[in-house]
Amino acid sequence: MLESTDRAAAITLNKVTVRLGGRLVLEDLSLDIPRGKVTAVMGPSGAGKTTILRLITRQIRPETGTVRVGETQVNQLKGRELGRFRRNLGVLLQNGALFTDLTCFDNVALPLREHTDLPETLIRRLVLIKLQTVGLRGAAEMYPRELSGGMNRRIAMARAMALDPDIMLYDEPFAGLDPISLGVSLRLIREINDAQDTTSVVITHDVDEVARLADHCHIIADRQLIASGSPAELAESDHELIRQFMGGHPDGPVPFHYPAPDLAEQMLAGQAR
Query: Got the DSSP string for 6-22?
Result: -TTEEEEEEEEEEEETT
Contact of residue 271 among ligand ADP, Mg ion, none (CB under 5-8 Å per partner type)? none
H-state helical runs in the chain? 49-56, 79-87, 104-115, 120-133, 149-160, 179-196, 207-213, 231-236, 240-247, 263-268
Residue closer to Mg ion, measured from CB, 50 or 181: 50
Query: Does 24 sit near ligand ADP (CB under 6 A)?
Result: no
b/e for 67-85, b at 16 or more Cβ within 10 A? bbbeebebeebeeeeeeeb
Contact map string, positions 207 to 236, toward ligand ADP, x by CB under 6 A:
------------------------------
Q: Are the C-beta atoms of 207 and 245 separated by less than 8 Å? A: yes
Contact of residue 47 among Mg ion, ligand ADP, none (CB under 5-8 Å per partner type)? ligand ADP
C-alpha dihedral sign at 21, 4, 87, 181: negative
Minimum Å distance from CB 211 to ligand ADP? Answer: 19
Residue closer to ligand ADP, measured from CB, 196 or 224: 224
Angle, CA of 52, 88 and 84, to the nearest 5°: 105
Count of residues of this chain found to bind ligand ADP when the rule CB under 6 A is applied: 12
Number of Cβ atoms within 10 Å of the Cβ of 45? 9
Contact of residue 45 among ligand ADP, Mg ion, none (CB under 5-8 Å per partner type)? ligand ADP
Greatest CA separation for the chain: 69
Binders of ligand ADP in range 34-53 (CB under 6 A): 43, 45-51
Minimum Å distance from CB 50 to Mg ion? Answer: 3
Q: Report residue 272 CA to chain centroid gap.
A: 35
Q: Are the C-beta atoms of 192 and 185 separated by less than 8 Å? A: no
Applying CB under 6 A, the span of 3-11, 19-27, 104-112, 189-197 interacting with ligand ADP comes to: 19-27
Residue closer to ligand ADP, measured from CB, 110 or 254: 254
Q: Are the C-beta atoms of 88 and 11 separated by less than 8 Å? A: no
Contact of residue 62 among ligand ADP, Mg ion, none (CB under 5-8 Å per partner type)? none
Residue whose CB is nearest to Mg ion in the complex, by number: 50
Binders of Mg ion in range 41-60 (CB under 5 A): 49-50
Minimum Å distance from CB 53 to Mg ion? Answer: 8
Residues in contact with ligand ADP by the rule CB under 6 A: 20-21, 23, 25, 43, 45-51
